[in-house]
Amino acid sequence: MRMNGPSGGEHKSEQKPATAARMYDFYLGGVHNFPADRQAAQTVVDQFPAVPAVARNNRAFLGRAVRFLAEAGIRQFLDIGSGIPTAGNVHEIAQAVAPDARVVYVDIDPVAVAESLEILHGNDRATAIRGDLREPQAILDHPEVRRMLDFTTPTALVLAAVLHFVPDDTEAYGFVDRLAAVLPAGSYLVISHGAAETFALSDDRTAAARAVYTQRTTTAGKPRTRAQVELFFAGRCQLVDPGVTWAPDWRPATGDPADFAGDTRRSGMWAGVGQFTPMPTT
Ligand SMILES: C[S@@+](CC[C@H](N)C(=O)[O-])C[C@H]1O[C@@H](n2cnc3c(N)ncnc32)[C@H](O)[C@@H]1O
Tell me, letter by letter, the H, E, C secondary structure of 246-267.
Answer: EHHHCCCCCCCCCCCCCCHHHH
Cα(37)–Cα(237) distance, integer angstroms: 36
- Per DSSP, 195 falls in state B
Measured from the Cα of 166, ligand 1's closest atom is 19
Q: For the segment 58-87, what is each residue's pLDDT rounded down to a tens digit?
A: 999 999 999 999 999 999 999 999 998 877
pLDDT score of 6: 28
Cα(216)–Cα(39) distance, integer angstroms: 10
Cα(92)–Cα(116) distance, integer angstroms: 13
Q: For the segment 202-238, what is each residue's pLDDT rounded down to a tens digit?
A: 566 666 666 776 666 666 678 899 999 999 999 999 9
Q: For the segment 118-175, what is each residue's pLDDT rounded down to a tens digit?
A: 999 999 999 999 999 999 999 999 999 999 999 999 999 999 999 999 999 999 999 9
The letter for the amino acid at 92 is E
Structural domains in the chain plus CATH codes: 15-248 (3.40.50.150)
The letter for the amino acid at 117 is L
Cα(47)–Cα(211) distance, integer angstroms: 11
Whats the size of the chain, residue-wise?
Answer: 282
Say how many Å lie between the CA of residue 281 and the centre of ligand 1. 34
Note every long-range contact of 11-14, with CB atoms under 8 Å and residues 24 or more positions apart, other chains counting: 13/111
pLDDT score of 222: 86
Cα(16)–Cα(12) distance, integer angstroms: 8
Instruction: Say if CB 137 and CB 174 are below 8 A apart.
Output: no
Please enumerate in sequence order all residues whose Cβ is within 8 A of that of 121, keeping only pairs 6 or more positions apart, or say none: none
Say how many Å lie between the CA of residue 82 and the centre of ligand 1. 5
Average pLDDT over residues 260-277: 93
Cα(90)–Cα(58) distance, integer angstroms: 13
Any atom of ligand 1 within 6 Å of the Cβ of 22: no
Q: What are phi and psi of 239, to 5 degrees?
A: -65, 135
269-276/126-130 β-pairing = unpaired
Helix axes 20-27, 110-119, angle to 10 degrees: 50
Helix (H) or strand (E) holding 111: helix 110-119
List the beta bridge partners of residue 58: none
pLDDT score of 69: 98
Q: For the segment 2-25, what is each residue's pLDDT rounded down to a tens digit?
A: 444 323 333 444 455 898 889 999
What is the DSSP secondary-structure string of 172-194?
HHHHHHHHHTTSPTT-EEEEEEE
Measured from the Cα of 84, ligand 1's closest atom is 27
Q: How far is CA 65 from CA 4, 69, 233, 273, in A?
A: 31, 6, 15, 7
Please enumerate in sequence order all residues whose Cβ is within 8 A of that of 73, keeping only pairs 6 or more positions apart, or say none: 154
Cα(37)–Cα(21) distance, integer angstroms: 9
pLDDT score of 202: 59
Say how many Å lie between the CA of residue 116 and the centre of ligand 1. 13
pLDDT score of 282: 57
pLDDT score of 17: 85
Q: Which of 25, 33, 66, 165 to mutate to test the pocket of ligand 1 (most atoms within 8 A of CB)?
A: 165
